[in-house]
Amino acid sequence: MRMTTPPWRFSKSASNEMLASLYSPGLKKRVMVRPKLDKPRGVLHAGDVVPEVGHWRYWPSADLAPFVEHYWTVEWNLREPLVRETLPHPVVHIVLENGAAKVAGPTTQRFTTTLTGRGRVFGIKFHPGGFRPFVAEPVSVFADRSVELSAVFGEGARELAPTALALREHDEIIAVLEAFLRSRGARADATAALMGRIAARIAEDREITRIEQIADEFSIGVRSLQRRFREYVGVHPKWVIQRYRLHEAVARIDGGTACDWTALAHDLGYADQAHLIRDFKTIVGCTPNEYAKGGPRPTSGRANAAGQRP
């Protein structure tokens, strides 16, 4: 793949120098990150409480906020394997785990992952469209794929994961990640920002059920919207509409506010109850009624915590 900037390098000495540069000499305290406290969307059976698994999210620094939605980490110490699942989001992640880093593109299926023993995974979640300014290729080339970070940003990027994950504190790790992102020289992109606003609009308004509604609201031709979404977000806008409706359905069931499937289907813009059930089962793996009763639960999953992706 082509790179938009020279390869980023990380020797041990360079790592130390870079970390030192993150702290202003006149400050006695380390720069603190801000926790993101709202509930993550799309985590299946989100009401389950597992004390042995910790999950944290943090806001990005102001200069990276146009690109990054948040940083996230999952840490666990388990006696028995634990399977976790999440619904797909129309976003790109950079995921650091087991000393390696990967670019995980938007996927069209739910994630299933098995957490075993003791471990930690750290990630960068980009806004829809937010990853596009960092690469020369359309984001659609990453859809349903997981690519080594070095294949995207050069051999020097191999040192990002071991350097970051060797640190203990979350703010120290985030400082390394932000230094890496800044080194890429990404610039604000008006189209990327527009695609992000459109995705956010779809997420917040359940009355948006057709592409034409978005095209009219933002004064964009339907074909142009589809083309730009594939380039900047990586998936079709209709897919985004459908997935966010399922996010809302799962959230209502987990919150105990959904039991009338006909009413839920109507609220979320489905043609009928059968359409909702069919879509729900395709992505979640069971019917809404089965999910509301707590199952069926997965019995196995990929031995890769990247599936958590909050």
| Dihedral sign for Cα atoms in the order 13, 7, 139, 302 | negative
Do residues 49 and 169 both lie within one domain? Answer: yes
Whose tokens are 């594939």? That residue is 230
Identify the domain boundary among 188, 214, 238.
188
Do residues 177 and 222 both lie within one domain? Answer: no
Q: Does residue 237 form part of some domain?
A: yes
Give 53-112 pLDDT, tens digit per residue: 889 999 999 999 999 999 999 999 999 998 888 888 899 999 999 999 999 999 888 888
Give 257-306 pLDDT, tens digit per residue: 767 888 888 888 888 899 999 999 888 888 998 888 876 665 544 434 44
Higher confidence at residue 255 or residue 195? 195
Q: Does residue 298 form part of some domain?
A: no
Q: Does residue 236 form part of some domain?
A: yes
Do residues 63 and 176 both lie within one domain? Answer: yes
Boundaries of domain holding 198: 190-292
Mean pLDDT value of segment 113-117: 90
Higher confidence at residue 186 or residue 301? 186
Residue 7 has pLDDT above 50, yes or no: no
Per-residue pLDDT at 304: 42
Q: Does residue 308 form part of some domain?
A: no
Whether the CB-CB separation of 301 and 94 falls below 8 Å is answered with no
What's the CA angle centered on 146, arms 197 and 301, to 5 degrees? 105
Q: Which of 10-24, 71-85, 249-263 has the lowest mean pLDDT?
A: 10-24
Tokens of 252: 């209502």
Per-residue pLDDT at 301: 40
Do residues 59 and 156 both lie within one domain? Answer: yes
Percent of the chain at pLDDT above 90? 53
Per-residue pLDDT at 137: 95
Per-residue pLDDT at 11: 42
Do residues 178 and 202 both lie within one domain? Answer: no
Q: Does residue 198 form part of some domain?
A: yes
Per-residue pLDDT at 298: 57
Q: Does residue 299 form part of some domain?
A: no
Q: Which of 16-30, 194-208, 217-231 has the lowest mean pLDDT?
A: 16-30
Do residues 143 and 271 both lie within one domain? Answer: no
Residue 38 has pLDDT above 50, yes or no: yes
3-state secondary structure of 51: coil
Q: Which of 96, 124, 116 is nearest to 36 (CA)?
A: 124
Q: Which amino acid is at 291?
A: Y
Do residues 222 and 183 both lie within one domain? Answer: no
Query: Is-above-0.75 flag for pTM?
Result: yes
Do residues 168 and 225 both lie within one domain? Answer: no
Identify the domain boundary among 188, 221, 245.
188
Mean pLDDT value of segment 116-143: 96
Residue 15 has pLDDT above 80, yes or no: no
Q: Which of 109-113, 118-122, 127-131, 165-169 has the lowest mean pLDDT?
A: 109-113
Per-residue pLDDT at 47: 67
Residue 196 has pLDDT above 50, yes or no: yes
Q: Does residue 171 form part of some domain?
A: yes
Do residues 127 and 53 both lie within one domain? Answer: yes
Distances (CA, A) of 14 to 19, 170, 181, 213, 257: 9, 20, 16, 50, 53
Do residues 58 and 148 both lie within one domain? Answer: yes
Identify the domain boundary among 188, 210, 232.
188
Do residues 195 and 179 both lie within one domain? Answer: no
Please report which helix (H) or strand (E) contains residue 194, including its range.
helix 190-204
Do residues 167 and 245 both lie within one domain? Answer: no
Mean of all residue pLDDT scores within the chain: 84
How far is Cα 196 from Cα 223, in angstroms, rounded to an integer? 18
Q: How many domains does the chain have?
A: 2
